[in-house]
Structure 1
Amino acid sequence: MPVAAGLAGGSTNAAAVIKGISEMYSLNLSKEDMKEIGLKLGADVPFFFEGGTCLAEGIGEKLTKLNNISCYIVLAKPPINVSTKYVYQNLKLDEITHHPDTKRIIDYIKYNDIKMLATSMVNVLENVTVKEYSVIYEIKNIMMEFGALGSLMSGSGPSVFGIFEERADAIKCHNRLRDYIKEVFVVNTVDRGV
């Protein structure tokens, strides 16, 4: 996976190290113990012990397991670096008119309605990042042209993901994006953590 991509790679690694140490030294840490240790390293680390589809609340440490969604994802990381600090400093929440509807998203997950889930996704941080880096908008458009049900920037960027029902469509999109972006991947969702 790409680094500095807005995909929580560092947090995933932290969770894997905690679990690895527990196993190597026969500590027999429970999932809850590992989550508690992980939270001290980062707000999203506990998620990686749970995995699957979860609602994260608080600073990310309060996790509610939801139905798992099965689909293919195309991930593309353009060759740019995005400053998370800059994005948050320039985010003007009072000017944003389109916000995520968490309740509706949870309902789509509950009923396994991937199409409605994908078309209902919102990332308010795109309001800042896309203005600075038009390549993010271009990637989203290519994903949609190649059959993505929805496409969104991950976190503060720069990675972009597209949700696909069919692997063949995801592969075609991957191949098209590889024409001008080096870091493009086709993955599928999983229902477990580290």
Structure 2
Amino acid sequence: MTLFGQPPEWEIAAGVALLVTGGVFSVIPPTLLGKMKPKDAGIIQLVCGTITLLAGLYNFFIQKMYGPPVILPIIFGTTQISAGWHNYKEVEATGLGWLSIIYAITCVVVAWIFASTGEWIYFGLDISWLLIYVSFIPLVSPELSQKPAVFKFLVYYNWIETYVGLLAPGLIILSGHSLLMH
């Protein structure tokens, strides 16, 4: 028995993108907490970013899809590759706060698209991604290093949100359950 039927091929590619994007986001908290070397996180980000980008390109070129199933994996994949390269080369990446703001705005637009098409599960997932990006904005603030309790709270919040909004939905789709409601 499936939730809403067998997932179409494009949704399976989106499930792969969700799962590996969850992999990228799951290495950010231990890196921020100093429990993982940035170089090690960079390798994971490079591999996962490449897979995410390929999932978006697959949906565009092979499945002839447009909109969120293509846009989000391509945007996230290229960003993950860039972040992975910066971490692997141990180059300080600047502009993460601004990038998070741009992604948060993108999430609002995509959430509106999902709401207008009645895809409420994907709408909810997109809102969870919005919350991840909004919580990243203060994480990159130098003033936050003066408030370790708030910093740790936001890091752990991101970790939990990664499982709820990325890894779990990706696993659900890849186990043969569509999240589409029609």
With the length of structure 2 as denominator, give the TM-score of the two structures: 0.28
Q: Which structure has the larger Rg over C-alpha atoms? A: 1
**If each structure's helix is expressed as a fraction of its own residues, which one has the higher value?**
2
Higher relative contact order (CA 8 A, sep 6+): 2
With the length of structure 1 as denominator, give the TM-score of the two structures: 0.26
